[in-house]
Amino acid sequence: MEVYFQLINDEEGLAKALEEFKSEEYLGFDTETTALDPFDGYIRLVQLSNGKNTIVIDLKPFMDKGDIKTMPELEGLRKILSDEKPIKIAHNAKFDAKWTLHHLGTELGGIFDTLIASQLIAAGDQDRRHNLAEVTSFFLGTELDKSEQVSDWSADELSHSQIEYAAKDAATMVPLREKIVEKLKSDGLIRVAKLEFDCVVPIATMELNGFYLNADCWREQLEKVKKEQEKIALELQGMLSAGVAQASLFGVAEINLDSKAQVTDALKNLGVPVPETTRGWQLQPLAKDYPVVEKLLEYRSVAKAITSFGETILEFINPETGRIHADFRQIGAPTGRFSCSKPNVQQIPHGEEYRKCFRAEEGNTLIIADYSQIELRILAEFSNDENFIDAFKSGEDFHSSAAAQVFNIKSEEVTPEQRSFAKRLNFGVVYGIGSQRFALMTGVSQMEAENIMRRYFATYRGLDEWLRNAGNRVIQERNARTASGRMMRFRFDEDDRKKIASAKRNGKNMPIQGTSADILKRALHLLHQVNTKTSAKLVNIVHDEIIVEVNESEPEQAARNLEQAMVSAAEEYVAKVPIKVDVEISKEWTK
């Protein structure tokens, strides 16, 4: 592909080019930066293209003159980027949004993200890749040379090849969007695409904001936990080696407690009926009969917290901001959920000793808000089940209400055991639990488990029917959808019973889990609109939870704003069931 492009490095050239571009509906948009992290480098090039003409703006000469965040010479550029129109077409717009926000002081407005669109269309197909070269090849059938991507963008003089590469990336965006839009339309993905695009800037902003972790607090807690781990390790070592001591001529044999093979051997030597795997839920039932198993589970839960989050999490504290700027993937799962890494702040253990180290900075406070039972409310909405909906409408403890209905007794007569059955089933049905698993987790016999499940589904006929239909539907259609139209595709052979069973479970779970993700994303958009007018800063999200940091002088208003955004978002998708959001104002990430 030949591209007509123009290198711009002064005010006059920029003004002239932008004059031509500002009335366009769409512009291809890209940046070249000297680093991947906006805290580590600067923006070298900004490229804009209407498909016919492409401009490559070299920011270096502007930077040499002063602060590019405020200089009047760049006002036109900042405006075209922040305006809703023209819509900027970018691949992984979060990246460019972070850089323009941090270095140009400009919040990107009007986004079409070809990466997100490609992921929506692939709908969970693991074989598809979504880098720009692959996406271009898939939708346009043309090859894109990315060899200059990692070249030195800080050189005084950029090579012709570098500039041409930069121009091509932006120019490709315009025809690429046209092809992608066709596919979004034919797949019924326009609404969800809009939902996702609206979410890009809130997430970019959140990543720049970061989440404050108090390092001293963390180290202190770590010391305590390490001591505890050593103690438990020693005890476990003693209990396990009792079984192999006879085999060792030298007395006590050392067992690597982190080795599944060695631990399994040792357990067998002690006469423990070790199941196929030694995963927690398999071992749990044995814990009450075998103290060594209980000790092992204790060791593993302590060890996990140390190994996974130990010292390494401190390395993620940015020296400039003193905060953790984790990496969020907007479509991390095919259900639409976010995933998070480096570090995964969606996976911090619940224990207060860990969470209390995540807090507001001096002078601020946190607002912690989470949806109450959002997935079950979505299931109630979808299934239209009168009893299930009533249990929510009553406003009482949901699991108790459910237990009362299932066991046909008064709420006040529900025993803790009955509530526990109901609770586990309520959660389990969302995943397509089977009676075997239910029996194992509750400790009742298989037959008893089947009985309880039969009662449960007899109470909630509508729910039962919806789940069956969802399972059948996915086999017919080979896809499942959420309320926003988000899609997940399934591939299986007619006779592959395992895959079919798995697809059925997915067909039940994906619409629920995915609609919950839709709602959270919608809430982030609504929240962002009001946050920009206040000091409130989004700092973390965990699937059904949003955490905002705000000046301690005005937490009540921020809390109301957050709750309002979350409730409104959910009500766009859930109408028959009340939505409940629990809000806490706290200095620390604890409840």
Partner DNA sequence: GTGAAGGGCCAC
Partner DNA sequence: AAACGTGGCCCTTCAC
Q: Is the N-terminal amide bond of 291 cis, ω within 30° of 0?
A: no
Binding DNA (rule: CB under 7 A), the pick from 281, 396, 454, 553 is 281
Per CB under 7 A, the list member of 92, 137, 151, 308 interacting with DNA is: 308
Q: Which parts of 237-276 interact with DNA (CB under 7 A)?
A: 256, 258-262, 264, 276
**Omega of the bond leading into 343 within 30 degrees of 0 (cis):** yes
Shortest separation between residue 310's beta carbon and DNA, angstroms: 8
Rule CB under 7 A: choose which of 9, 277, 529, 532 binds DNA.
277
What is the closest distance, in whole angstroms, from the C-beta atom of residue 332 to DNA in the complex? 5
Of the pair 261, 575, the CB lying nearest DNA is at 261
In total, the chain counts a number of residues equal to 591
Q: Is the dihedral of CA 40, 43, 44, 50 positive or negative?
A: positive
**What's the token pair of residue 557?**
């208003």
Residue 433 to residue 450: CA distance in whole angstroms: 11
> Residue 334 interacts with DNA (CB under 7 A)?
yes
Which one of the spans 230-238, 393-401, 421-429, 470-478 is the region binding DNA (CB under 7 A)?
421-429
Return the number of the residue (82 or 344) whose C-beta is nearest DNA: 344
- Return the residues of window 513-542 that contact DNA according to CB under 7 A: 513, 542
The C-alpha atoms of residue 315 and residue 14 are separated, in whole angstroms, by 41
The residue among 494, 495, 486 whose CA lies nearest residue 519 is 486
Phi, psi angle pair for 277, to nearest 5°: -115, 165
3-state SS, residue 320: coil
Sequence-distant (6+) residues with CB within 8 A of 382 are 466, 511, 512, 515
**Positions in 342-361 near DNA (CB under 7 A):** 342-344, 346-351
- The reply to whether 278 sits near DNA by the rule CB under 7 A is yes
Q: How far is the CB of 75 from DNA (least distance, A)?
A: 39
Q: Does residue 307 belong to the site contacting DNA (CB under 7 A)?
A: yes
Nearest distance from C-beta of residue 413 to DNA, angstroms: 26
Q: Which stretch binds DNA (CB under 7 A): 236-244, 299-307, 460-468, 567-575?
A: 299-307
434 binds DNA (CB under 7 A): yes
- Measured CA to CA in angstroms, residue 279 lies from 28, 276, 289, 430 at distances of 50, 9, 17, 22
Residue closer to DNA, measured from CB, 146 or 423 = 423
Burial state string for 305-316 with b = 16 or more CB within 10 A and e = fewer than 16: beeebeeebeeb
Smaller CB distance to DNA: residue 341 or 472? 341
- Mask 312-331, x = binds DNA (CB under 7 A)? x----------------x--
CA distance 363 to 382: 44
Query: For residues 300 and 143, what is the distance between their CA atoms, to the nearest angstrom?
Result: 49
Residue 256 contacts residue 299 (beta carbons within 8 Å): no
Does 15 engage in binding with DNA (CB under 7 A)?
A: no
Minimum distance of DNA from residue 383's CB (angstroms)? 17
Nearer to DNA, 335 or 482 (CB): 335
Q: Which is it for strands 4-8 and 53-58: parallel, antiparallel or unpaired?
A: parallel
Gap between the Cα atoms of 50 and 171, Å rounded: 7
Residues near DNA (CB under 7 A): 256, 258-262, 264, 276-281, 283, 297, 300-301, 304-305, 307-308, 312, 329, 332-335, 337, 339-344, 346-351, 370, 424, 427-428, 431-434, 436-437, 441, 497-498, 501-502, 505-506, 509-510, 513, 542-545
